[in-house]
Structure 1
Amino acid sequence: MQPADRQGLALSGASARAAELYCEALGAYHCYSGEPFPLLRSALADSPDFVMAHVLKAYMTLVGSDPKVRAMGLGAVAATDGLAATAREAGHVAAIQAIAAGEFQAAGRILEDVSIAFPHDVLALQAGQQMDFLTGDNRMLRDRIARALPAWSEGMPDHHAILGLHAFGLEETGQYARAEASGRRAIELQPRNGWAQHAVAHVLEMQDRRAEGVRWMRENAPDWTPESFFAIHNWWHLALFHLGLGDIDEVLRLYDGPIYGEGSTMAFDMVDASALLWRLKLHNVEVGDRWARLADNYALHPHGQYAFDDVHAMLALVGAGRDAEAETTVATLRAVAAGTGENTGITREVGLPIAEAVQAFGQGRYGVAVERLRTVRNRAARFGGSHAQRDIIDLTLIAAAGLAGETDLERALLAERAAALPLT
């Protein structure tokens, strides 16, 4: 009998033992916790032609990684060449090939079709939602999961993962009550589900329920922190709650501890560090040499490959006072904007104007920063991230308007922001 995953989907090229190891690794990936890599290594040592083990390795290493880890992902993509695969598995192979080429929208479309044909394929849903996140497709963040819901019910293996994914999609489309309920139910089923934990944190952030947010994150910390490769982002959410409460000392303690105490070179982690330091800058908080350390790590990454990361690199370079490096990065983005490829249009329409605004802000040209950000902010979702992450655009615009002496605009933006919060 051919081995299968927990949903009964066939696993080509796997022994029974390798399939068991893969399922354990996949379960960890659904929670963003545990140690999936050793499990995958063991599965592939046992069954080198196990196509879905290579696929999972690729999903875990191609995006948001430093160059060395990305190289592992490219190796995993190459390893799938010529391997026997079912139609479902072939869809996954096509998706990782698209991701490797930087074609995230294409990968998302491929995975959309896989999920339509195989609604029990949790990996296709999870990886597909990641593509939606990277391309700022809020509707698909929700709807690719919603399409699969009729095939799922309480008690099925990994149901918590579906609930957590749906919770985040609901939150990003403003359905906060449903999102919170789905996320909390996912945590009841699997307390280690870091994605569901974060989905509820997003709801509390968007509704300005900051004291509740602190409690939510701290009470559940023993579950979502151990062996988690998503913990830094969840600690970042806790720091945002403390920042909103004015507890700057705790924000700095979190930054120097779990957020960036170890100085990760992973792109996802660096984005959180950069965004948090910039928020502190907008609060006129001196952060010492923290900017310099982060900027040093950004120097290890090539720029011009993903606009969202490039903007956060600019925050770090400007925060560290690295004017020459910031100018080089802007020049790189201008060259990208004149080229071809998926990232080209996003850089031209969103990434480059924001990078220019950040540079202008650092140079004290606040009127230029205002002009650039006003032009781009209503289409900024195109370059990915969440509402909470892209909020840095509005925060910078408000600060720039005030520093530029555009008091009427500043007042209007603050009124707009207040009106968006829930009534109390």
Structure 2
Amino acid sequence: MRTTDQFGYDLNIASTDALPHWNSAIHAFLAHGKETPIHLERALELAPGFALGHACRGLFCLLLGRRELLAPARECHDIATRSLHQSEHSDRETAVVHALGDWLSGWPSRCADRLDAALKAYPRDALLLKLVHAVRFVLGDSTGMRASIESAFPAYNETHPFYGYVLGCRAFALEETGDYRAAETSGRAGLEHARDDAWGLHAVAHVHDMTGRSDDGVKWLESRPDGWAHCNNFGFHVWWHLALMYLDQGHTDKALALYDSEIRRERTDDYRDISNAASLLVRLEIEGVNVGARWEELALLSDKRAEDGCNVFADLHYLLALLNGGRRMSAERLINGLRTRSSDTGDIGLVSRNAGVSAGLGLEQYRKGNYASAFHLLSSSRQNLHMIGGSHAQRDVFERLTIDAALRAGLFEDAEGLIKDRERFRGAPDNFGAQRLETCDTMRRTSMIMLDERLRAVPA
């Protein structure tokens, strides 16, 4: 049965009863709501041949980056493909099904390009917009993310039912491409239209992080405690942002308390939850905080995911947990997996080859205390590290480790260069960088004293 969806486009869905559940699933997806899968499954129960619904379910599975979800994603693709052959579907619906096939073939980049092409033809489809936004986020393609949303944005205004969420996506794309003022304006405006737009709320928190305004960031998040209460595990990530603000302020006790009470409230093995936890523990340890036995829980879960190989961003965070949790053999398995996949065709091979292997080996050397080697390996992956996906704030843990490795190796000039480069990239200094610049200055003065011939007991 063909009908018109909430965006004004043709939709092939067999049951009118399924349509409200489909609309609710889209709304929940845009809001990062925990009800998303419930609404989607209900729509598919009522319309079991719903091609677009099955294709989206398959993409949702792949976005979770778990090996065991590859089979359900393939099943979704098979059902959706059969449906395309059995009845007439629009180019938009067909494109999403084929985009799922692109990713299953090892090319999420082609998936994103196909979705973008569909978005150009159907710009008011906020689901398409959010899907390509999510895929390009996984690819670390901030430039593509911004180009995608800017091309569609003229089709949106206050009359669109999801205008606020689109503003939130635009805010994040602007932030990731360094346009901080416009990003903050867009994120704040989005919340005026969609109070539950956790993505836009978190985009503004990113601006505070990148511009060294942790005091403003704490106020922003603490004044909106209900802003992400409706979320799926994305809510843990917003708590993570608050913990980063506390850490920048020097309140390591508050950051650690948030780790226990919110960030790891549900001890899942979702790679996004593991990355929140592992990266925060690393940051705390760099600041000299004893995190106790917290690594053990993460290492146990990461051990079971060490051979997933679905997402290099996930792999590197699993590796952090394994190395710091003392599971060296599992860490070696994971690194060997990165090496093996580096020869593969497809996007995962490209990312493993250009960033994953060198970064993984650098993390291993850092944990072994071979700081000069760690610095050189981590530095060699810096230029391509965006390819692993995630945000600048998430990948900053690797920047901090690289800087710390340089300092521990006595390479204060290299560390100083990295710190200043990081500051230029971010747009403003933060306390981490300022404190390490002071350390570099102390090391330089110490070096000059040691080279002063007048202070030698015996002339050289």
Which structure 2 residues correspond to residues 332-343 of structure 1 after superposition, within 5 A? Answer: 332-343=337-348
> In structure 2, what residue type is equivalent to 1:178?
A
CA offset at residue 421 of structure 1? 4.1
The AA in structure 2 aligned to 1:12 is N
CA distance in 2, matches of 1:359, 1:148: 43
Q: Summarize the alignment of residues 27-46 of structure 1 with structure 2, pairs less than 5 Å apart.
A: 27-46=27-46
Q: How far off its partner does 1:423 sit? A: 7.9
Q: Deviations over 1:301-343 (max 9, x none)?
A: 2343321111111111111121121122111211111233221
Q: How does 1:344-383 map to 2 (within 5 A)?
A: 344-383=349-388
* Partner in structure 1 of residue 115 of structure 2: 111
Instruction: Write the deviation string for residues 251-279 of structure 1: whole angstroms up to 9, x where unpaired.
Output: 11111122112211212221111111111
CA contact (8 A) 1:142 1:170 kept: yes
Retained in 2: the 8 A contact 1:167–1:182? yes
Residue 404 of structure 1: how far off its partner (Å): 0.8
Q: One-letter code of the match for 2:416?
A: R
Residue 168 of structure 1: aligned partner = 172
- In structure 2, the partner of 1:178 is 182
How much does 1:284 deviate? Answer: 2.2
Residue 239 of structure 2 corresponds to 235
Question: Which structure has the larger Rg?
Answer: 2
- Comparing 406-415 and 109-118, the one that deviates more: 406-415
Q: 1:93-242 to 2 correspondence within 5 Å?
A: 93-242=97-246
Q: Distance between the aligned counterparts of 2:81 and 2:24, measured in 1?
A: 24
Count of residues in correspondence between the two structures: 424
Q: CA RMSD in A?
A: 1.8
> Which of 387, 390, 393 is 2:395 aligned to?
390
What residue in structure 2 maps to residue 264 of structure 1?
Answer: 268
50-59 or 255-264, which deviates more: 50-59
Which structure 2 segments of 5+ residues have no match? 431-460
Does the Cα contact within 8 Å between 2:51 and 2:81 map onto a contact in 1? no
- 1:12 aligned residue: 12
Which of 221-230 and 343-352 deviates more?
Answer: 221-230
CA distance in 2, matches of 1:152, 1:199: 19
Structure 1 CA distance for aligned equivalents of residues 284 and 325 of structure 2: 13
Aligned equivalent of 2:320, options 305, 308, 315? 315
**In the alignment, residue 102 of structure 1 is paired with which amino acid?**
G
Unaligned runs of 5+ in 1: none
- Does 1:422 pair with 2:419? no
Task: Indicate if the aligned counterparts of 1:66 and 1:265 stay in contact, CA closer than 8 A.
Answer: no
Percent identity (aligned): 32
Counterpart of 2:457 in structure 1 is none
* Preserved CA contact (<8 Å) 2:63 2:135: no
Task: Give the distance between the partners of 1:7 and 1:137, measured in 2 at CA.
Answer: 27
**Contact residue 21 and residue 39 of structure 2 kept, 8 A:** yes
Seen in structure 2, the aligned counterparts of structure 1 residues 101 and 288 have a Cα distance that, compared at 3 Å, is: farther
Q: Distance in 2 between matches of 1:10 and 1:326?
A: 50
Q: TM-score, normalised by structure 1?
A: 0.95
**Deviation (angstroms), 1:398:** 0.8
Is 1:22 equivalent to 2:22 in the alignment? yes
Partner of 2:413: 408
Deviations 1:356-402 (A, max 9, x none): 00000000010001111221212211221111111112101110011
Query: CA distance change for structure 1 residues 287 and 71 in 2, over 3 Å: closer, same or farther?
Result: farther
Instruction: Provide Cα deviations, 1:93-142, integer angstroms capped at 9, x if missing partner.
Output: 01112223331101001001100111011111111111211222111111
Hey, what's the Cα distance between the residues in 2 that align with 1:150 and 1:281?
46
SS at match of 1:147: helix
The normalised TM-score by structure 2 is 0.88
Give the aligned residue type for 2:98.
A
Deviation at 1:353, TM superposition (A): 0.5
1:253 aligns with 2:257: yes
Cα distance in 2 for partners of 1:65, 1:372 equals 26
Offset at residue 228 of structure 1 (A): 3.2
CA distance in 2, matches of 1:297, 1:41: 28
CA deviation vs aligned residue, 1:73-104 (integer Å, no higher than 9, x gap)? 34322321211322110000011122233311
